[in-house]
A and B are shown apart, each in its own frame.
Chain A
Amino acid sequence: MKRLSRDVAVIGIGQTRFGEHWDLSFREIGIQAGIKAIMDAGIDSSRIDALYIGNMSAGLFLDQEHIASIIAEEIGLTDRQIPTTRVEAADASGGLALKQAILSIASGLNDVVVVGGAEKMSDVTSDIAAGFIAAGADQSWEALFGATMPSLYAIMARRHMHEYGTTREQLAHVSVKNHRHGAMNPFAQYQKEIGIETVLKAGPVAEPLGLFDCAPMSDGAAALVVCDMETANEICDEPIRIIGTGQGSDTLSISNRPSLTELRSTKTASRKAYEMAGIGPSDIDVAEVHDSYSIGEILAIEDLGFFEKGDGGPATERGDTTLGGKIPINTSGGLKARGHPLGATGIAQVNEIVLQLRGKCDSRQVKDARIGLAQNVGGTGGTAVVHILEVI
């Protein structure tokens, strides 16, 4: 069993509200999240050894690359020339940035690391943004022929319906549940409940997926302060330990996969994370999963082992994944209601899990949550990252 050489904990979290921040620049949202996380950790910035940033596509959205340096500059971390690194794996960039931060601490190279995720999508119109999002799919074998991200997920949804009898209504229940949760999250883009009719009647994006099956385009940033366990115990009253981290990959093009109804990257990433943590799916009290499209959540809760393959739809319809259900999924509102600023999503998920484990989620608190999981997917699953966290 693979283990980290040093235990790592989260000691600070921060995020902006997700949404259309027309009045804020990429820099400004990055600063807001970063400073909040540093303040939450209560550390002096002189103790920060490195910065990792998850960002999918500032180059396309903003004509700006080299963004790790910008964020470090804006947060005021360049006076000591600390290492700053941008990590990219489409919309798994945030989760992967966290993993790199963890590795750098476990290796002994760093003690305290700020890891953030940020994306500014509203500077371009949605049709242009849709093209940029498709850059997370295979340009040569998918996007070139007109496939968009929702159309690829629609193919997976159709196949799931065909093989397991998953219904249109079950897909819709994912969005209804996530909006119900999002209504309780002050950082969510959409803090409004919706009925199933709203989802079913919405215009098609790529059938069977309609407008309300798709996460929105969002601006937003989220950040964490992570450190080694020794430092965490020294400066933090309630560190949340990262007990498992796993990453998996798969072919970029879905056409090269043996199955369209599972994400092998998620299965592998979660297996590794469970092994490291020494636990199984039934030990998880609360999970944030990657519902960029409603079918994504159904695939996730099956591939993470919460439900049998094919039972994701019925389980959602039964209410097993809602607050108070068997395993509450996406208490933050998920990507659908919290919003989906690509590179920020993986970090925002961990923000929510930490809040849950701290018991600070107010009306959306999962009672006695001790172990939480976050699953972050890049594109259609070419990358998946899973983190498991536990209250000490």
Chain B
Amino acid sequence: MDSGIVSYGVYVPRYRIYPRDIGKVWGQNGEAMGRSLNIIAKSVPAPDEDAATIAVMAARRALKRVKVDPGEIGAIFVGSESHPYAVKPTASIVAEAIHAAPYLTAADLEFACKAGTAGMQAALGLINSSNRNIPMDYAMAIGSDTSQGAPGNALEYSASAGGVAFLLGHTGVIAEIVLTMSFTTDTPDFWRREGMKYPSHGERFTGKPAYFKHIQSSAEQIMNRMGTEAKDYDYAVFHQPNGKFPVTIGKKLGFSMEQIKDGLMTPFIGNTYSASMMIGLANILDKAEPGDSILAVSYGSGAGSDGFHIQVTDEILEYDRSGSPLVEDEIKKEIPVDYATYLKYREKIKMEGE
């Protein structure tokens, strides 16, 4: 039985900050910075939002599009680098909130920006090994983050918030995951140690030996195994720490802008970290037609890439996309905030008694 994506849901906080407003505070040409990163705006979570609430929203929206009893979900994995708790799972919060608890397994994952896709692989593994002894009709993988860059750091222009939930299973599959393989090395390009508030990064080291090497290796691994070339895909989507890197790697791998553009969401909402590539994939699924093939490659610093060869099925014609907001709707519902409001929302202003 073919397994793959049964449903998906997306949530992006509605507040936005623009590069010019960030640059103004730090004496930088924010607009030029935005242009060089290909970022028009980035999403900002409200003060009452965190990776858990965003994950819940995405999970609920995934379920609204299908008639699946949440009780049948046998596993929930939440990938994030901004889990609200250091010890205490986000996944259990989601499980309760969507009424999937208590008969399921749940766990949090962390692998920088690819924890969400690592969850997809784990969920798919459980689905594919499902039998009478290990019943697993549905499993959910979520990428959700409220990532942060230190004030004044280049990351501040891109680090944003958002979440995507993929419900995987083997009935009602709208997009079959034909193949998934990964490429992992120990490459310290970006990290945050226990207790540190903000991540550190190795500047340009995050590019060539990190992002580009891993995505390229993973994409080539998938295409070699499938015997495919860039032209064989209708869509390609890559992790997008900014709006520039995914275009560069896409072109290097031989993809045209036409194949890449629908997966490119970071220019409008910033880098949603664990949700970044997954939101691009969701936007593609918002438009895809039966028979479309998609190459999707995530990247997590530290470092690794998960590659997916995905084939859209006829089921997508029956799928109730309108049951939840499309990615495009999420991008459009924007409320701009100034830098001071952004600081307040991100709890960077010291309050009385703090």
A residues with a Cβ closer than 8 A to B are: 20, 22-23, 122, 125-126, 201, 203-204
Asked whether B32 is an interface residue with its Cβ less than 8 Å from the other chain, the reply is: yes
A23 to B201 CA separation, bound complex (whole angstroms): 17
User: Which residues of B have CB within 8 Å of A203?
Assistant: 28-29, 32
Would you list which residues of chain B between 176 and 226 have a CB under 8 Å from chain A? 200-205, 208-209
Q: Is the CB of B203 within 8 A of A22?
A: no
User: Which residues of A have CB within 8 Å of B28?
Assistant: 203
Shortest C-beta distance, A220 to chain B (Å), equals 16
User: Which residues of B have CB within 8 Å of A126?
Assistant: 203
Would you list which residues of chain B between 24 and 42 have a CB under 8 Å from chain A? 27-29, 32
> How many residues of chain B have a CB within 8 Å of chain A?
12
Query: 9 pairs across A/B with beta carbons < 8 Å?
Result: A20-B204, A20-B205, A22-B205, A23-B209, A122-B205, A125-B201, A125-B203, A126-B203, A203-B32
User: Which residues of A have CB within 8 Å of B203?
Assistant: 125-126
Q: Per-residue 0/1 for B29-57: is the Cβ within 8 Å of any A Cβ (1 yes, 0 no)?
A: 10010000000000000000000000000
A126 to B201 CA separation, bound complex (whole angstroms): 11
Shortest C-beta distance, B94 to chain A (Å), equals 36
A22 to B189 CA separation, bound complex (whole angstroms): 11
Q: Is the CB of A125 within 8 A of B32?
A: no
Shortest C-beta distance, B4 to chain A (Å), equals 38
Most buried by A among B32, B203, B205: B203
Chain A contact surface mostly: loop
Least CB separation from A204: chain B residue: B27
A125 to B202 CA separation, bound complex (whole angstroms): 6
Shortest C-beta distance, A367 to chain B (Å), equals 38
Which one of B27, B29, B209 contacts A22 once the chains associate, using CB atoms below 8 Å? B209
Shortest C-beta distance, A231 to chain B (Å), equals 43
Known: A122-B205, A125-B203, A203-B32; 14 extra A-B contacts, CB below 8 A, are A20-B204, A20-B205, A22-B205, A22-B208, A22-B209, A23-B209, A125-B200, A125-B201, A125-B202, A126-B203, A201-B32, A203-B28, A203-B29, A204-B27
Least CB separation from B201: chain A residue: A125
Task: Please provide the 5 A-B residue pairs with the shortest distance between their CB atoms, ordered closest to farther.
Answer: A22-B209, A125-B203, A22-B205, A126-B203, A203-B29
A126 to B204 CA separation, bound complex (whole angstroms): 10
Least CB separation from B200: chain A residue: A125
User: Which residues of B have CB within 8 Å of A204?
Assistant: 27
User: Which residues of A have CB within 8 Å of B201?
Assistant: 125
User: Which residues of B have CB within 8 Å of A20?
Assistant: 204-205
User: Which residues of B have CB within 8 Å of A22?
Assistant: 205, 208-209
Shortest C-beta distance, B28 to chain A (Å), equals 6
Shortest C-beta distance, B37 to chain A (Å), equals 13
Shortest C-beta distance, B196 to chain A (Å), equals 15
User: Which residues of B have CB within 8 Å of A125?
Assistant: 200-203
Shortest C-beta distance, A362 to chain B (Å), equals 28
User: Which residues of B have CB within 8 Å of A23?
Assistant: 209
User: Which residues of A have CB within 8 Å of B209?
Assistant: 22-23
User: Which residues of A have CB within 8 Å of B32?
Assistant: 201, 203
User: Which residues of A have CB within 8 Å of B205?
Assistant: 20, 22, 122
Shortest C-beta distance, A181 to chain B (Å), equals 23
User: Which residues of A have CB within 8 Å of B27?
Assistant: 204
User: Which residues of A have CB within 8 Å of B204?
Assistant: 20
A122 to B207 CA separation, bound complex (whole angstroms): 14
Shortest C-beta distance, A62 to chain B (Å), equals 15
Least CB separation from B204: chain A residue: A20
A352 to B229 CA separation, bound complex (whole angstroms): 45
A126 to B205 CA separation, bound complex (whole angstroms): 11
A10 to B199 CA separation, bound complex (whole angstroms): 49
Least CB separation from B187: chain A residue: A22
A204 to B26 CA separation, bound complex (whole angstroms): 12
Least CB separation from B28: chain A residue: A203
A23 to B28 CA separation, bound complex (whole angstroms): 32
Q: Per-residue 0/1 for B7-27: is the Cβ within 8 Å of any A Cβ (1 yes, 0 no)?
A: 000000000000000000001
A201 to B31 CA separation, bound complex (whole angstroms): 13
A203 to B27 CA separation, bound complex (whole angstroms): 9
Shortest C-beta distance, B301 to chain A (Å), equals 14
